[in-house]
Amino acid sequence: MQETTGKPRLNAVARAWDSDVAWSFRHSPLAVIAAFVSILIILAAVFAPWIAPHDPFNPATLNLMDGFTAPMEPNQFTGNVYWLGTDNQGRDVFSTILYGARISLFVGFMAVLFAMVLGITLGLIAGYRGGWVDSLLMRVADVQLTFPSILLALLIFGVARGFIPPAYREAMAIWVLIVAIGLSDWVQYARVVRGATMVEKSKEYVQAARVIGAHPAKILLRHILPNVMGPVLVIATIGLALAIIAEATLSFLGVGVPSTQPSLGTLIRIGQGFLFSGEWWILLFPSITLLALALSVNLLGDWLRDALNPRLR
Amino acid sequence: MLTVYAADAGSDMLAFILRRLVQSVIVMLTVALVAFALFRFVGDPIASMVGQETTLAERAELRDALGLNDPFVVQFGKFVARASTGDFGISYRLQQPVMELILSRLPATLELALVSGVLAFVFGVGFGVYTALRRGNWLSGTIMTASLIGVSLPTFLIGVLLIWVFAVELQWLPSFGRGEVVQVGNWWRTGLLTESGRASLILPAITLGLYQMTLIMRLVRAEMLEVLRTDYIKFARARGLSNRAVHFGHALKNTLVPVITITGLQLGSIIAFSIITETVFQWPGVGALFINSVRFVDVPVMAAYLMLIALVFVVINLVVDLLYYAVDPRLRVDRANARH
C-alpha cells in the first residue's frame, strides 16, 4: 500500500520504523521474543547443512558405537560428547532436529502457500463475480468448516495416497502431504478475501478502474488484492503454526513424510519408542523444538492480528 | 395477523429443514463418490482375486460376471445401495468383512469418546464457574495459564507426555491397550467393568478430552462473566437470594445453552482426535484401524471409515442446526433474511 519507489532508501526504512505496526512490535515484549525464537529456528533450519555437526543422513559419518550417548556426557566407548545426545544409530540428536525442522518448515510454508493461493483466488472470484459461483463456493466452504481440519488433512492424505501408484508413494509423500494440509485449510482465506472483495468492489476506485476498461483479472490483482492482504497475512501466520502441527501429527501417526526424511513429528514418534528404556533425550528435544516453533509462530500471529486491527488501538 | 405469521414461519421452517436435508444428502453422495473412486481406480480388483495361471478369457469373464464392465453410474448406484446396508466388502489386509471389523472396534472408540466427553464437560464447567467467580485468585490464575498450555500443545504430544510421567516415571497407570475387557451382550465388549480396564482408560480419556475441556472452560467463564453483570443478577441479589442460588440457579443456568451446543458440535472433533489418541495409546478402536488402513492402503476399510465419519458429522450438524432453529427464535428471522 505504501508507495516507496523513487524515494531514498533510507527514508523507506525510517518510515517503516515509524509505522504503527513497527511501533506496536517494539512495545510488545512477547511479540519480540516470539519473533526472535521463530527466526532463530527458521535460520537454523535453513542453514542446517552448515550448522549441524553431523549429516544424519550420511551413513558414512555415523558410528554405531556412539549410539545412546546421553546429552553432555562422553560416550563410554568413543569418548565423543554430544550436546543433546544421540539416538540408537548414533545420530546426533541436535543435527536430526535441525534437519527435521527443515522438513517441518518446508511442508508448513508450502502448505500455507498452497492454501493461500487457492483461497485467495477462489475468494476473489466468489466476491467479485457473486451469483451461483459465489453460492456454490461458500456452500462448499460451509460444509468443509464443519470438519476439523486435521481430520480432513488425514482423510485427503489417505485418499490421495490410495490413488498414487505404489512405486511413487514414498517419493511423492511430501507433496501429497502439502496438498492435503493446504486443501484442509483454504476456507479461511477464501471467506476473508470474499468478504473484503465484496466491500472493495463497490468503492469508487474499483468502479473507476472498471470504467476505463481494465480487465477484471487486473482489477482483482492490482487494485483489490493489495487492500485485502492485511487479514490474509494474519491467517497465514496462524495457519503456519497449524500446518506445522498438522504435519507433525500426521508424521507422528506414521502416515506423513517418509521415514527417510524425518520431520520433527517423525523424530517424536521415534523418540517415543525409547521412553521405556530410559533414553528420554531422543523424545524431549524434538518435542521442545516443535513446541517452541508452533507456539512462537502462533503468538506472532496473535500479535499481528491485534496490531493490524485498528479497532483495538 | 398472528396466524399468517405462524403459517409463514411454519413453511419457512419446512423449507429450511428440506434445504438442510438436501445438503446433507449431497455431502453424503460426494463422499460416497470419493469412496467409490478409491475402489474403482486403486489397483485392479481382478488381479487381486485370481492366481497367475488364470487366462485372459477367464479374467474377462470374471470381470463381466462381477459387473465391472457396467457403466460408471450403474456401478456407483450398486455401491451406494450396498454401502447403505453396511456392506463394504472384505479388508485387503485382515481378510475380514469390513463392517464386522468396524463393529467389533466401535465399542472401544465410543467408550473412550464418551468418557472423555463427560470428563471435558464436568471439569470444563466446574473450572469455568470457579475461574469466573474467583477471578484474580492464584488458583484461577494457575488454571487459566494451564489451559493456555493445554490448547497450544498438540494432542499427540499431550499423550506422549502423559505416558512419560504417569506410565514410565511414576508407573501408576498402563500406557497402552484397553486392559481386561468383559463381554456385554452380543456386540459390546466393555473395559468399564474391570479395574485394569478403567485404569487403562484414564490417560487416553484425559488426552482426548483436554482440548475440549479448555474450550468449554473458557466458554463457560466468558459467559458467566457476561451474565453476572446483567440486571437480573443484580435484582436477584437485591431480593436477598443466597450467593449459591444466584450463581448456580440463575447465572449458570443461562450460560448452559451455548455450552451444550458447542459440546454437541465438539463430538465430531472428539471422534477426529480419537484417531490420534488411539494411535498414541494403541487403543484398539476404529481410529487406529483407519490409520493402519491408510498406511497399508487397505481401500475397503478406508472407504467405510470415510463414509462413517461423514455420516456422523452430517447427522451431528443437522441435529444441532435443527435444535438451534427450534430453540432460538432470533435465528429464524436471521436465516430468513440472509436467504433473501
Question: Which pLDDT score, from 0 to 100, does residue B23 have?
Answer: 84
Are B242 and B188 part of one and the same domain?
yes
Q: Which of the residue ranges A150-164, B5-19, B79-93, B161-175 would you say has the lowest mean pLDDT?
A: B5-19
Residues of chain B with a CB closer than 8 angstroms to some CB in chain A: 23, 27, 34, 37-38, 41-42, 152-157, 160-161, 163-164, 168, 175, 268-269, 272-273, 275-276, 279-280, 290-291, 293-295, 297, 299, 302, 306, 309, 313, 317
pLDDT for B5 = 46
> Side chain identity at B242, as an amino acid letter?
S
For the purposes of burial, counting CB atoms within 10 Å of the CB of B242, is it exposed (0-12), middle (13-18) or buried (19 or more)? exposed
Is there a contact between A249 and B273 if contact means CB atoms under 8 Å apart?
Answer: no
Q: What is the pLDDT of residue A79?
A: 66
B254 in the same domain as B197: yes
pLDDT at residue B2 above 50?
Answer: no
CB contact under 8 A, A158 and B293: yes
pLDDT of residue A310: 62
Q: Exposed, middle or buried by CB within 10 Å (0-12, 13-18, 19+), for A109? A: middle
Query: What is the ipTM metric for this complex?
Result: 0.79
The pLDDT averaged over each successive group of 10 residues in chain A (313 residues) is: 52 74 80 90 89 76 71 72 74 86 93 95 89 87 81 84 78 88 91 88 86 85 84 90 91 83 87 82 89 89 80 53
B127 & B263 share domain:
yes
Give domain limits for chain A. Answer: 72-94+105-285
Q: Residue B7: what pLDDT?
A: 46
Angstroms from A110 CA to nearest CA on chain B:
20
Mutate to test the interface with B, among A30, A252, A297 (most CBs of B within 10 A): A252
Domain range for residue B37? Answer: 1-93+296-340
Together in a domain, B284 and B330? no
Does B150 lie in the same domain as B76? Answer: no
Number of domain units in chain B = 2
Cβ-Cβ contacts under 8 Å for B248 (sequence gap 6 or more): B129
Check whether residue B225 and residue B181 sit in a common domain: yes
Q: Which of A188-197, B21-30, B82-91, B278-287 has the lowest mean pLDDT?
A: B82-91
CA distance B143 to A82: 38
**Whether B269 and A148 lie within 8 Å, measured CB to CB:** yes
CATH of domain A72-94+105-285: 1.10.3720.10
Residue-wise pLDDT for B183-230, tens only, equals 777 777 777 777 788 888 889 999 998 888 888 888 888 888 888 888
pLDDT over 90, % of chain B: 2
Confidence band of B19 (pLDDT split at 50, 70, 90):
confident
Q: Tell me which chain A residue has its CA closest to the CA of residue B39.
A: A162
Q: Quick one: B52 and B185 in the same domain?
A: no
Question: pLDDT: is B155 or B255 the higher one?
Answer: B155
If you search the block for the grid coordinates 506414521, which residue do you land on? A254
Q: Grid coordinates standing for B181?
A: 475387557
Are both B212 and B249 inside the same structural domain?
A: yes
Q: How far apart are CA A231 and CA A217, in angstroms?
A: 21
For residues B75 and B204, state if they share a domain. Answer: no
What pLDDT does residue B339 have? 44
- More reliable by pLDDT, A35 or B258: A35
Domain of B141: which CATH number? Answer: 1.10.3720.10
Q: Give the Cα separation of A163 and A176 in Å (integer).
A: 11
Percent of chain B with pLDDT over 70: 88
Q: B275 to chain A: which residues are within 8 Å by CB?
A: 151, 154, 253
CB distance A148–B154 less than 8 Å?
A: no
| Residue B294 burial (C-beta neighbours within 10 Å; 0-12, 13-18, 19+) | buried
- Say whether pLDDT at B330 is over 80: no
Record: contact B272-A159, CB cut-off 8 A: no
B174 and B109 share one domain = yes
Give the per-residue pLDDT at A121: 92
pLDDT of B273-329, one tens digit each? 888 899 888 888 898 898 888 888 788 888 888 888 888 888 888 887 777 666 665
